[in-house]
Amino acid sequence: MASPSRTPKLDLSISGALVALSVFVLWGTKEIPPPFFDPIGSAAFPKYTAYIIIALSLAIALRASLALRKPNSPRKKSFREEPLLAISVVITSALYVLSMQWELLSFRWATLVFIFLLSALLSKFEKRVMIFSAIIGIVFGFGGQYLFTEVFYMDLPQ
Amino acid sequence: MEILNAFQYALSPYPMLWIFIGVASGIFVGAIPGLGGGMLMALTVPLTFSMDSTHAILLLMGMHVGSVSGGLISATLLKMPGTPSAMMTTLDGYPMAQKGQPGKALSLGIGASLFGGIISGIFLLALAPPLATFAHKFGPWEYFTMVLMALVLIASITQGSMLKGLMAATLGLLAAMPGLNESDGQLRLTYGFESMDDGFNLLPVLLGIFVMSQIIKDALQINKKGVGVAIKKGERIFPKFREWKQHTVNILRSSCIGTWVGILPGIGASISSMVSYGIAKTFSKTPEKFGTGHEEGIVAAESANNANAGGALIPLITIGIPGAPVDAILLGAMIMHQIQPGPLLFETNSPLVWSLMTGYLVANIVMFLIMVFSARFLAKVVSINRSYLIPIVFAFCLIGAYGPSNRMFDVWVVIGFGILGYFLDRAKFPLGPFVIGYVLAGIMESELRSGLQMSEGSFAPMITRPIAGSFTVIAFAFLGYSIYQEWRSRTRLSSEGLSTDA
């Protein structure tokens, strides 16, 4: 079950971010009025949770810094990772959401463009995938709009 | 009598249709590496709002049963478990397939899955009613300490570091804090944003943690491909009675382990299959064959992971505590359908509970039939190009998050929690405890506050009340034991390091 940290640098970064988040939560709890009918009130639970997160973050950071001191041979992966693709998935998804939030596109057109674009990116513009993804985009964009609004009675961005 | 009526209901056309759709889609998704039952269920929940609540729950439960079983196919043919619970199956399934017996490996796994599911279903029918009666004795302190125990248990037993397990559970608790507090109607941690008044809703959080994080991971690992083994034409997939008979003890033992681990709150099927695989190896006459394509290994892993699904339904139905992370989605779906799982459910909605339990048994039989007759087709599906899947899955996420509330804020919550989930997963923080922590935060806080009101601010009932005291002792004992284990393991590793250096 137990093992030394295999991702010490990431652990340190996450611990730091979580301590900052906890401080932000503790600052937020100051706005909560004191309890008026029960002993602990609404601020207590987030406060306790934030304190526990700080304590655990420090323990994880300590463990990670101990692991950093030891020479660690990186494990070789059997495949090449594509961090740029992962980032592009997040960015494309965010643009897809924004296009509808700012009412630039309706669900059907935004979905069509999104499916085509992201499939093309992920397949590194492979011609066959692009053709199929265009078809899928049309079917999902227009068919999906009909299915979800008319059959499942859900509102989608118009 | 209720059980017979429930069977009659579960076998009638409409429930049967939903179980069939659920199991078939679960197997399909479970077979594709990178997708999973949790993902499918989270995406389906919003589509069930217009459905009859019993049908909706049967559909989701069918998906759960199907996805646990579907993972077997890619684990055996690609050495890539379709779901994490099929991880142990790869150890013997793939080597057996490589030896030219993929059909036999699948038939053993499918048969073991059926028996695991049926045995845990019997436990479910036998244990749930008395446990629900027992749970009537629970007051606020019992519920609070039980949730505490569940969180400690899942954080300690989960794979990897206990510290990270605890951190994930605590982060889950924190994620549930913002917004309107139901105990006193107080707004908190909204930082002046109106969108935050409702807090982070269950569905977007689940979609983010289960689906979006997986999408990011899939894009990162898009070059990861398994080395496939094909099923030969005419090769038998239907399990033989002789094979089952030979593995009776292993099936019974692994199914009992799977069910028991499932009953323990918050622990998923991966742990069940790991524990039963290890025990099967210990009791085997040929332990050296494990990992080389041994029948016993496949049977142990598959019967345990399917049995886990039934075991995990027991705490969910009787006390409203999810037995596994995926059950948190089932719990969420029940709440959204105005069904409150817990001891009162047997009184307030008895037909639903019995239909759910008998439906679970029917779902396992349906799973067996679909798996046997579609394994050849599914073997071709497992290597589907993820360039098509990722955009479609995100579009489903958007529909699932936006549809129920018509708020784009919820879609941003999906993306935000997806990024958080991805980084946590990357740093080996288990996501299961996060989801369980998030789902149980509300009960934990409201029960603690009710308890403190009753005891006038004293925490003593955590120890003085017999049931609550037992839960507290178990929670702290587990915590102490896990810390000891972690310390011992570190000491052993550092002494091994020293001796290697010397």
Nearest-neighbour CA in chain B from A54: distance (Å): 10
pLDDT in tens, A108-130: 999 999 999 999 999 999 999 99
Tally of structural domains, chain B: 1
Total beta-carbon pairs less than 8 A apart between chain A and chain B: 215
Range of the domain at B136: 2-229+236-384+392-501
Q: Which of A21, A44, A69 is the last residue of a domain?
A: A69
Q: Which of residues 480-499 of B touch A (CB under 8 A)?
A: 482, 485-490, 493, 497
pLDDT in tens, B364-398: 999 999 998 888 787 777 667 888 889 998 998 89
- How far, in Å, CA of B374 to CA of B368, rounded? 10
Given pLDDT bands bounded at 50, 70 and 90, which one contains residue B467?
very high
Q: Closest Cα partner for B167 from B183, B185, B152? A: B152
* Maximal CA-CA distance, chain B: 73
ipTM for the assembly: 0.93
**Are A97 and B215 inside 8 Å of each other by CB?**
no
Q: Who wins on pLDDT, B61 or B156? A: B61
Contacts of A13 (CB under 8 A, 6+ apart): none
* CA-only gyration radius of chain B, Å: 22
Q: Is residue A78 part of a domain?
A: no
Q: Is B395 on the interface with A (CB under 8 A)?
A: yes
Q: Is residue A29 part of a domain?
A: yes
Task: Residue A33: list chain B partners with CB under 8 A.
Answer: 186
Q: Is B227 on the interface with A (CB under 8 A)?
A: no
- pLDDT value of position A15: 95
**Are B167 and A18 inside 8 Å of each other by CB?**
yes
pLDDT in tens, A1-34: 445 667 888 999 999 999 999 999 999 999 888 8
Q: Which residue of A has its CA nearest to B422?
A: A86
**Are A40 and B449 inside 8 Å of each other by CB?**
yes
Question: Does residue A132 share a domain with residue A95?
Answer: yes
Q: Which of residues 358-387 of B touch A (CB under 8 A)?
A: 385-387
What number of other Cβ atoms are within 10 A of residue B288's Cβ? 9
For residues B272 and B158, is the Cβ–Cβ distance under 8 A? no
Question: Does residue A133 share a domain with residue A103?
Answer: yes
Dihedral sign, CA of A82, A87, A88, A89?
Answer: positive
**Are A46 and B189 inside 8 Å of each other by CB?**
yes
Q: Is A4 exposed, middle or buried (0-12, 13-18, 19+ CB in 10 A)?
A: middle
Question: Does residue A50 share a domain with residue A89?
Answer: no
Test mutation, A18, A90, A147, chain B, max B CBs within 10 A: A90
Question: Does residue A89 share a domain with residue A142?
Answer: yes
- pLDDT value of position B119: 95
Q: Is B97 on the interface with A (CB under 8 A)?
A: no
Adjacent-strand bridge partners of B181: B186
Q: Is B241 exposed, middle or buried (0-12, 13-18, 19+ CB in 10 A)?
A: exposed
- How far, in Å, CA of B440 to CA of B438, rounded? 6
Closest by Cβ to A89, choosing from B219, B482, B497 = B219
Range of the domain at A127: 83-151
Nearest-neighbour CA in chain B from A135: distance (Å): 11
Test mutation, A84, A87, A122, chain B, max B CBs within 10 A: A122
Q: Is residue A14 part of a domain?
A: yes
Tally of structural domains, chain A: 2
pLDDT in tens, A52-92: 999 999 999 998 988 887 766 666 677 788 899 999 999 99
Task: Residue B159: list chain A partners with CB under 8 A.
Answer: 1
Structure tokens at B187: 């707004």
Task: Residue B482: list chain A partners with CB under 8 A.
Answer: 1
What number of other Cβ atoms are within 10 A of residue B318's Cβ? 25
CA distances from B359 to B20, B114, B353, B387, B427 (A): 11, 14, 10, 35, 38
Pairing status of strand B186-188 against strand B179-181: antiparallel
- pLDDT value of position B501: 47
How many distinct helices (H) and strands (E) make up chain A? Answer: 6, 0
Residues of chain B with pLDDT > 90, as a percent, come to 35
- pLDDT value of position B502: 43
H/E element holding B179?
strand B179-181
Structure tokens at B89: 């199956």
Task: Residue A65: list chain B partners with CB under 8 A.
Answer: none
Q: Is A70 exposed, middle or buried (0-12, 13-18, 19+ CB in 10 A)?
A: exposed
Adjacent-strand bridge partners of B187: B180
**Are A97 and B184 inside 8 Å of each other by CB?**
no
Question: Does residue A91 share a domain with residue A63?
Answer: no
Nearest-neighbour CA in chain A from B489: distance (Å): 6
Q: Which of residues 141-160 of B touch A (CB under 8 A)?
A: 156-157, 159-160
Q: Is residue A156 part of a domain?
A: no
**Are B163 and A59 inside 8 Å of each other by CB?**
yes
Half-sphere exposure of B416 (CA within 13 A, CB side): 12
Given pLDDT bands bounded at 50, 70 and 90, which one contains residue B160?
low
Nearest-neighbour CA in chain B from A50: distance (Å): 8
Name the amino acid, one letter, at A140. Answer: F
**Are A49 and B457 inside 8 Å of each other by CB?**
no
Q: Which region holds residue B385: left if phi is over 0, alpha if psi is between -120 and 50, else beta?
A: beta
Adjacent-strand bridge partners of B186: B181
Q: Which residue of B has its CA nearest to A110?
A: B395
Q: Closest Cα partner for B13 from B55, B56, B63? A: B55
Ranges A76-80, B108-112, B187-191, B498-502: which has the least confidence: B498-502
Q: Is B163 on the interface with A (CB under 8 A)?
A: yes
- How far, in Å, CA of B215 to CA of B219, rounded? 6
Overall residue count recorded for chain B in this entry:
502
Q: Is B261 on the interface with A (CB under 8 A)?
A: no
- pLDDT value of position B227: 62
- pLDDT value of position B268: 67
Could you identify the residue written with the tokens 């009776």?
B248
**Are A100 and B457 inside 8 Å of each other by CB?**
no
H/E element holding B188?
strand B186-188
**Are A1 and B485 inside 8 Å of each other by CB?**
yes
Question: Does residue A59 share a domain with residue A105?
Answer: no
**Are B159 and A96 inside 8 Å of each other by CB?**
no
Residues of chain B with pLDDT > 70, as a percent, come to 94
Dihedral sign, CA of B418, B421, B425, B430?
Answer: negative
Task: Residue B411: list chain A partners with CB under 8 A.
Answer: 97
Closest by Cβ to A111, choosing from B395, B441, B448 = B395
Task: Residue A3: list chain B partners with CB under 8 A.
Answer: 160-161, 489, 493
Q: Which of A69, A94, A121 is the last residue of a domain?
A: A69
